[in-house]
Amino acid sequence: MGPSAAEPRTFWLETLGCSKNQVDSDKLAGTLTADGMAPASGPGAADLVVVNTCAFVEDARQESIDTVLDLADARRDGARLVVTGCLAERYGDELADALPEVDAVAGFGVPVSLGRRRQHAGASPASFDLLELPRPASPVPWAYVKVAEGCDRGCGFCAIPSFRGPQRSRSIESILAEIDDLDVAEVVLVAQDLAAFGRDQGRGERAIVPLVRAATARVPRVRLLYLYPSDLTDGLVDAVCATGVPYFDLSLQHVSRPLLRRMRRWGSGDRFLDRIGAIRAREPSAAFRSNFIVGYPGETEDDHDRLLGFVAEADLDWCGFFAYSREEGTYAAGLDGTVPGGLVEERLAELRELQDGITARKRDELVGRRVEVLVDTPGFGRSHREAPEIDGVIVVPAALEPGSFHDVTVTAALGTDLEATP
Ligand code: SF4
């Protein structure tokens, strides 16, 4: 049943946060379109404006609030404004009270079409499972595929399990059906804790391996993001290397053993180096990305020096460094040993400078090399070393067809990007 004369006809969907949120937005857009609505040309032209928010850390929450307020101003008279996503799920009624401009705050599984009628928090609408909703076709030759929701770990700094809930894995069949529907050249498998896929369904410790193998049989490239280091088994490494995308996104967060214990996480710098070395021995062209938290309560100068040493030795392609954000309700929120803000900034700057040099050198070393690129859009492509949206790109002749693969020779490095010709 399409929208009646009084009901909104067009929508604008603003997405903040991570790749998993991007998938949720794709599915929300799919439901609104299936409901007879059409995407508007801009927020000011829409009858329904939806903001899919992020609440992971303070900066992300502030960005979400600012975006909601900006869109409240930008929307046209009579248009509805709905806030959904992590901020809505985490702060529900509190958020609705704090933002009178908003017509509805819709947590996970609450239809954003709520916004069609003026509605206040607490009403119990029909719910749906975002995880299993159908996806519209991808506008580019790659797509994120979310294989599970939530997380069963308890990392000291992380509030995600408190609002995304315990891990819920999809069936392999529904994931493969989505991959077929998307009809892309590259799928990027994502979840909060990807390598733990299937564990909540008692499908044994390593259900991620059969999933990766089955996906690899269907699509030219399969990339994995958010791998917890203790789950990087030989079987998973083999499966990743067989995907045509030997790309390892390792969620390490730190390398100091005592600090990792304080983070309630596994591992140490030496174990990580051993694993990375073993993967490089198996696949010399393997590419690596990781993320690290700086300024976790109790972080010492020695911890910082260990991280500097690790970054220098590990020689990773890409790294992100983030300031610790104190999150209500997390284990770390109750810890002593706060690191002064100025010192955190100093340490961040030192790490970023070190890594920028490493990334630039590794890009330079590719000049003159032949690589296979997938053309994403006219003039731009990526090899196995570049994940979409977070790493550099490869500039290629605009005549190359999006969605096609080409062997190219790298002719120049432009900072994090490369230039190449067929
Ligand atoms: S693995 Fe840790 S950091 Fe990642 S979502 Fe789970 S609890 Fe948070």
pLDDT bucket at 107, cuts 50 / 70 / 90: confident
pLDDT bucket at 206, cuts 50 / 70 / 90: low
**Alpha carbon of 256 to those of 15, 40, 253, 260, 273: distances in Å?**
35, 49, 10, 6, 12
pLDDT bucket at 201, cuts 50 / 70 / 90: confident
Both 211 and 339 in one domain: the answer is yes
The separation between CA 77 and the C-alpha centre of its own chain, rounded to angstroms, equals: 34
Is the beta carbon of 192 within 6 A of some atom in ligand 1?
yes
Q: Of 154, 150, 223, 222, which is closest to residue 390 (Cα–Cα)?
A: 223
Of all residues in the chain, the percent with pLDDT exceeding 90 is: 84
Is the beta carbon of 102 within 6 A of some atom in ligand 1?
no
What atom in ligand 1 is closest to the CA of residue 151?
A: 6
Mean pLDDT on 180-196 = 95
Write the pLDDT tens digit of every residue in 239-285.
999 998 999 999 999 999 999 999 999 999 999 999 999 999 999 99
Q: Domain for residue 130, yes or no?
A: no
> How far is ligand 1, taken at its centre, from the CA of residue 128, in Å?
24
Both 102 and 168 in one domain: the answer is no
Distance CA 62, CA 320 (A): 20
Is the beta carbon of 193 within 6 A of some atom in ligand 1?
yes
Both 55 and 86 in one domain: the answer is yes
Distance CA 283, CA 236 (A): 13
What is the chain's mean pLDDT, rounded? Answer: 92
According to the model, what pLDDT value does residue 117 have? 45
Both 201 and 176 in one domain: the answer is yes
What atom in ligand 1 is closest to the CA of residue 152?
A: 6
> How far is ligand 1, taken at its centre, from the CA of residue 149, in Å?
11
Is the beta carbon of 260 within 6 A of some atom in ligand 1?
no
Could you tell me the residue range of the domain that residue 152 belongs to?
A: 136-364
Answer for the pair 220, 244: CB distance below 8 angstroms, yes or no.
Answer: yes
Is the beta carbon of 332 within 6 A of some atom in ligand 1?
no
Q: Domain for residue 101, yes or no?
A: yes
Q: Domain for residue 228, yes or no?
A: yes
Mean pLDDT on 131-139 = 84
CATH code of the domain covering residue 66? 3.40.50.12160
According to the model, what pLDDT value does residue 127 have? 59
Does the structure show a pLDDT above 50 at 121? no
Both 197 and 61 in one domain: the answer is no
Helix axes 301-314, 269-282, angle to 10 degrees: 10
Is the beta carbon of 160 within 6 A of some atom in ligand 1?
yes
Instruction: Using the 3D structure, point to which of 57, 90, 123 is the last residue of a domain.
Output: 123
Q: 351 phi and psi, to 5 degrees? A: -65, -45
Q: 125: how many CB neighbours lie within 10 A of its CB? A: 14
According to the model, what pLDDT value does residue 132 have? 84
Q: Domain for residue 129, yes or no?
A: no
Does the structure show a pLDDT above 60 at 2? no
Both 174 and 307 in one domain: the answer is yes
Both 118 and 140 in one domain: the answer is no
Both 158 and 61 in one domain: the answer is no
Total count of domains within the chain: 3
Q: 54, 90, 163, 193: which to mutate for ligand 1, most atoms within 8 A of CB?
A: 193
Mean pLDDT on 60-74 = 96
Write the pLDDT tens digit of every residue in 332-386.
999 999 999 999 999 999 999 999 999 999 999 999 999 999 999 999 999 999 9
Both 270 and 354 in one domain: the answer is yes
pTM of the model as a whole: 0.91
According to the model, what pLDDT value does residue 244 have? 87
According to the model, what pLDDT value does residue 109 have? 66
The separation between CA 55 and the C-alpha centre of its own chain, rounded to angstroms, equals: 13
Q: Domain for residue 88, yes or no?
A: yes
CATH code of the domain covering residue 169? 3.80.30.20
Instruction: Using the 3D structure, point to which of 334, 364, 394 is the last residue of a domain.
Output: 364
> How far is ligand 1, taken at its centre, from the CA of residue 157, in Å?
9
Does the structure show a pLDDT above 70 at 125? no
Is the beta carbon of 355 within 6 A of some atom in ligand 1?
no
Answer for the pair 267, 230: CB distance below 8 angstroms, yes or no.
Answer: yes
Is the beta carbon of 155 within 6 A of some atom in ligand 1?
yes
Q: Domain for residue 245, yes or no?
A: yes
Q: Of 309, 305, 288, which is closest to residue 387 (Cα–Cα)?
A: 288
Both 83 and 172 in one domain: the answer is no
Distance CA 108, CA 86 (A): 8
Both 212 and 332 in one domain: the answer is yes
According to the model, what pLDDT value does residue 118 have? 45
Does the structure show a pLDDT above 70 at 178? yes
According to the model, what pLDDT value does residue 111 have? 65
Distance CA 396, CA 377 (A): 10
pLDDT bucket at 120, cuts 50 / 70 / 90: very low
Is the beta carbon of 186 within 6 A of some atom in ligand 1?
no
Both 79 and 204 in one domain: the answer is no
Q: 21, 149, 155: which to mutate for ligand 1, most atoms within 8 A of CB?
A: 155
> How far is ligand 1, taken at its centre, from the CA of residue 230, in Å?
13
Answer for the pair 381, 406: CB distance below 8 angstroms, yes or no.
Answer: yes
Write the pLDDT tens digit of every residue in 7-25.
678 999 999 999 989 999 9
Does the structure show a pLDDT above 60 at 422? yes
Mean pLDDT on 104-127 = 60
> How far is ligand 1, taken at its centre, from the CA of residue 172, in Å?
22
Helix (H, G, I), strand (E, B) or coil at 177: helix
Is the beta carbon of 151 within 6 A of some atom in ligand 1?
yes
CATH code of the domain covering residue 382? 2.40.50.140
Instruction: Using the 3D structure, point to which of 123, 148, 183 is the last residue of a domain.
Output: 123
Mean pLDDT on 88-115 = 84
